[in-house]
Amino acid sequence: MIKNLNIFTRQMSLYGILSIFGIGLIIFVVIQFNTINKTLNNHVPNSVSNMSKASELNEIALFIRYYDEVLTQSTRNYALTGNTDWLNRYNKNVPLLDEMVKRAIRVSDGEDKALFASIDTVNQNLVAMEANSQTQATKGNLSGAISILDSPEYTSAKEIYEKALVTYVEKHGTSYDSVMSSSTKDVTDAIDYTNSVIYRASIITRVIILFIIIFMIVAGRYILLSITNPLKILTEATERIVKGDINQKVDIRAKDEIGTLAQQFNAMTEAIKKSRLSMDRELLEKTKSLDEKEKFMGDQRKAILNVLEDVESEKDKVSSEKDKTDTILQSIGDAVFVVDTEQKIILVNSVTEKISGLSPEQLIGKTYTDVLKFVFEDTKKINNKFMLDALKTGITQEMSNHTVIINNSGDEIPISDSAAPLKDKDGKVIGCVVVFRDVTKERQIDKAKTEFVSLASHQLRTPLSAINWYVEMLLAGDAGKLSAEQKNYVNEVYNGNKRMVDLVNSLLNVSRIGMGTFAVEPENVNICNICEDVIKELTPQIVAKKLSIIKEHEDKKLTIFADPKLMRIVMQNFLTNAVKYTPEKGIITASVFKIKAGSYPNVNSDSMLMKISDTGYGIPESQKEHIFEKLFRADNVREKDTEGTGLGLYIVKSIIEQSGGVVWFESKINKGTSFYATIPLKGMVKKEGNKELT
């Protein structure tokens, strides 16, 4: 039944029971006290009052006797002597006696009371008689005073008085001790009774208390266990669950909170079991899929490892390529540096460091114009155009001649070469590679060559000039008139000399072309006019050979920005060849017109085309490839004509190609030849050179 109460009720019940016991005990104790109280209040006081009463009466009686004696004596003595002292003493004690007697009456009861009442009466009587006596004494009637005292009335009253007292004394005097002892016995009895009551009560109280304690212990423990035992069961069950044993069922059937808890615990265990089962199932499934995934991952990992191996080997390859590239870069004899689109240096090689005098740390990352000072030799102004053009146009640019670099010691070092734009695979410019080299030596060599050529030309030309002029004077008759035959001979000399002069000029041109040192000074030139001039010069031969010249110029006013001297050389060459290598009565056609880019192979921009065609000997197939070579003359014309240096076409090719144009020919043996040369319409670029071609 206890188990069906909830814990609170149980506790409250226990407290309630304990309270009841407690109250019971208190009531019991109170009752006992009352008993004791009554005893004490009743017995003892009675006995004590009896005792006191008895003793008090005795005392009063004594006093009454005493006062009586005193009074008797005093009145008698007064009567005898008339001494007022005795009267004063009498008066003083009379009230005292009276008071005593009245007290005695009050205090006593029963017989005693009647006794003292009679004493009082007698006393009054005596007092009256004594008063008479005193009066007499006072009057001086001593004898009268005595007589009253000796009177039978007085004496009998006295006797009665005495008798009463004796009666009392007899009654009580001897029984004083018995009264005392009975009173004392009463008190003792009362005390004993009280003690026994107290003793009994204390025993009972102690027993009750003991009982309460035992009850408290037992009941308390029982209640406590009723809580802790199920809790222990629950705790153990929980521990087992924690350890892993899910199959726990707690058997607590109480209907209190513990019971509820136990039910919930069981329900929870069930739920855990269920969820555990489902989790196990899920886990199993997941493990299965995980295994599959792991296997898959394993395969993947293998694949990745393979890829990584490949990557590693590629990396090695790349790294070794890079090493190779670095080695190549460092072993390039020229200075190489690379900039990005913002002209910041990203790569340099050792030669760059050497020439500039700066370390890679000082160069890399900096804008190149801050550290590498390319300037024009003459103006000392920064030459940045070649780089900017390369970056902007995406076309390789050459540094103009007379560019120097100022190294970090302040020296000027003449350099040359080019800036080539770097492009990504979409063709966008991502940077620029600049290659340059110290051309000091080259310049010196160049200078030496130039001086040599200059000197050679001077040395060669001097005798030629002498011959020229003397022969001229001869022919002019300045040294006397010549015979026809003399004139012929001298003419041969003159012609021979002229050829020499041409050859020397050609050789000088070739050497200048070879050195790249000829100047280009373009102006707006009319090619057709040049063509006309050259044709005019050749008129004697044309007439002599009866050749027909046809001019097919698209636009007689066509001008192009070109060096007139160079254009003249080209025209001269083509036309002279045409005239030379066409037999009598042949036809030579000269045409100048504009063409569009792409209309002929290798012609990449809109250009001006010069075309000279003839109906001459043509060029043998086998020798076509050599036509533009230095000093080459095809066999077929060498047989026919021993003149010709073989240098002309080489010079023409150099000029045209350096001007950005294209030169080619078509020919059929014994049918004729057509020579073509183009100049881009944008014209020639001015080039400073040491010499002009002659």
Partner 1 sequence: MKKNVLIVEDENTLASAIAAKLEISGFDVAKARSVEQAISYLEEIPKIDVIWLDHYLLGSENGLDFVHSVKNSEKWKGIPIFVVSNTATPDKIKSYMQLGVEKYYVKAEHRLEDIIKDIKKVA
Q: Is 692 in the site for partner 1 (CB under 8 A)?
A: yes
Contact 547, 579 (CB under 8 A): yes
Q: Is 476 in the site for partner 1 (CB under 8 A)?
A: yes
Stretch that binds partner 1, among 340-348, 387-395, 649-657, 685-693 (CB under 8 A): 685-693
Strand partners, 607: 595, 680
CB atoms within 10 A of CB 290: 12
Stretch that binds partner 1, among 104-112, 135-143, 671-679, 684-692 (CB under 8 A): 684-692
Give the DSSP letter of residue 623.
G
Stretch that binds partner 1, among 406-414, 431-439, 450-458, 600-608 (CB under 8 A): 450-458
Query: Both tokens of residue 344?
Result: 């910041």
User: Judged by CB, which is closer to partner 1: 17, or 515?
Assistant: 515
Count of residues touching partner 1 (by CB under 8 A): 25
| Binder among 29, 40, 375, 464 for partner 1 (CB under 8 A) | 464
Query: Both tokens of residue 484?
Result: 């026809």
Q: Show the binding pattern over residues 513-532: x = contacts partner 1 (CB under 8 A), - = does not.
A: ------x-------------
Q: Is 490 in the site for partner 1 (CB under 8 A)?
A: no
User: Judged by CB, which is closer to partner 1: 437, or 512?
Assistant: 512
User: Judged by CB, which is closer to partner 1: 533, or 692?
Assistant: 692
Q: What is the DSSP string of 661-688?
A: --EEEEEETTTEEEEEEEEETT-PPPB-
| Binder among 458, 481, 536, 557 for partner 1 (CB under 8 A) | 458
Q: Which of residues 393-412 bind partner 1 (CB under 8 A)?
A: none
| Binder among 39, 93, 133, 505 for partner 1 (CB under 8 A) | 505
Residue 348 CA to residue 359 CA, distance in Å, equals 9
Burial of 337 (0-12, 13-18, 19+ CB in 10 A): buried
Q: Is 466 in the site for partner 1 (CB under 8 A)?
A: yes
| Binder among 216, 501, 503, 515 for partner 1 (CB under 8 A) | 501
Distances in Å between the Cα of 195 and the Cα atoms of 24, 30, 36, 43 are 22, 16, 8, 13
User: 559: part of which helix (H) or strand (E)?
Assistant: strand 559-562
Query: Both tokens of residue 625?
Result: 């490839």
Query: Both tokens of residue 654?
Result: 């150099």
Only one residue has tokens 């008759």, namely 477
Residue 144 CA to residue 150 CA, distance in Å, equals 10
In sequence order, the 6+-apart residues with CB closer than 8 A to the CB of 666 are 673, 674, 676
Residue 378 CA to residue 483 CA, distance in Å, equals 59
Q: Which of residues 228-267 bind partner 1 (CB under 8 A)?
A: none
Strand partners, 602: none
Residue 487 CA to residue 366 CA, distance in Å, equals 76
Q: Show the binding pattern over residues 533-572: x = contacts partner 1 (CB under 8 A), - = does not.
A: ----------------------------------------
Least distance from C-beta 643 to partner 1, angstroms? 18
Query: Both tokens of residue 46?
Result: 């009675």
User: Judged by CB, which is closer to partner 1: 128, or 455?
Assistant: 455
To 10 degrees, the CA torsion angle through 183, 188, 189, 190?
Answer: 90
User: Judged by CB, which is closer to partner 1: 328, or 466?
Assistant: 466
Q: Which of residues 138-157 bind partner 1 (CB under 8 A)?
A: none
| Binder among 63, 176, 470, 600 for partner 1 (CB under 8 A) | 470
Least distance from C-beta 518 to partner 1, angstroms? 10
Strand partners, 673: 614, 667
Contact 416, 446 (CB under 8 A): no
User: Judged by CB, which is closer to partner 1: 517, or 667?
Assistant: 517
Least distance from C-beta 491 to partner 1, angstroms? 14
User: Judged by CB, which is closer to partner 1: 45, or 689?
Assistant: 689
Q: Is 180 in the site for partner 1 (CB under 8 A)?
A: no
Contact 402, 394 (CB under 8 A): no
Residue 134 CA to residue 138 CA, distance in Å, equals 6
Least distance from C-beta 687 to partner 1, angstroms? 11
Q: Is 472 in the site for partner 1 (CB under 8 A)?
A: yes
User: Judged by CB, which is closer to partner 1: 381, or 458?
Assistant: 458
Least distance from C-beta 475 to partner 1, angstroms? 10
User: Judged by CB, which is closer to partner 1: 366, or 691?
Assistant: 691
Q: Is 376 in the site for partner 1 (CB under 8 A)?
A: no
Contact 513, 654 (CB under 8 A): yes
Between CA 167 and CA 174, with CA 169 as vertex, the angle to 5 degrees is 120
Least distance from C-beta 577 to partner 1, angstroms? 21
Query: Both tokens of residue 125?
Result: 């009587």
Stretch that binds partner 1, among 255-263, 472-480, 481-489, 675-683 (CB under 8 A): 472-480
User: Judged by CB, which is closer to partner 1: 408, or 454?
Assistant: 454
Contact 226, 2 (CB under 8 A): yes
| Binder among 251, 342, 426, 478 for partner 1 (CB under 8 A) | 478
Q: Is 484 in the site for partner 1 (CB under 8 A)?
A: no
Query: Both tokens of residue 296?
Result: 């898959």
| Binder among 147, 182, 343, 694 for partner 1 (CB under 8 A) | 694
User: Judged by CB, which is closer to partner 1: 420, or 567?
Assistant: 567
Residue 513 CA to residue 519 CA, distance in Å, equals 10
Which amino acid is present at 546?
K
Residue 616: phi, psi to the nearest 5?
Answer: -95, -155
Between CA 529 and CA 533, with CA 532 as vertex, the angle to 5 degrees is 90
Q: Is 487 in the site for partner 1 (CB under 8 A)?
A: no
Q: Is 691 in the site for partner 1 (CB under 8 A)?
A: yes
Least distance from C-beta 463 to partner 1, angstroms? 8
- Beta strand pairing call for 559-562 and 523-526: antiparallel
Pick from 78, 89, 79: nearest CA to 146: 79
| Binder among 268, 473, 597, 631 for partner 1 (CB under 8 A) | 473
Least distance from C-beta 504 to partner 1, angstroms? 7
Stretch that binds partner 1, among 132-140, 461-469, 522-530, 567-575 (CB under 8 A): 461-469
Q: Is 70 in the site for partner 1 (CB under 8 A)?
A: no
User: Judged by CB, which is closer to partner 1: 487, or 624?
Assistant: 487
Q: Which residues contact partner 1 by CB under 8 A? A: 454, 457-458, 461-466, 468-470, 472-473, 476, 478, 501, 504-505, 519, 689-692, 694
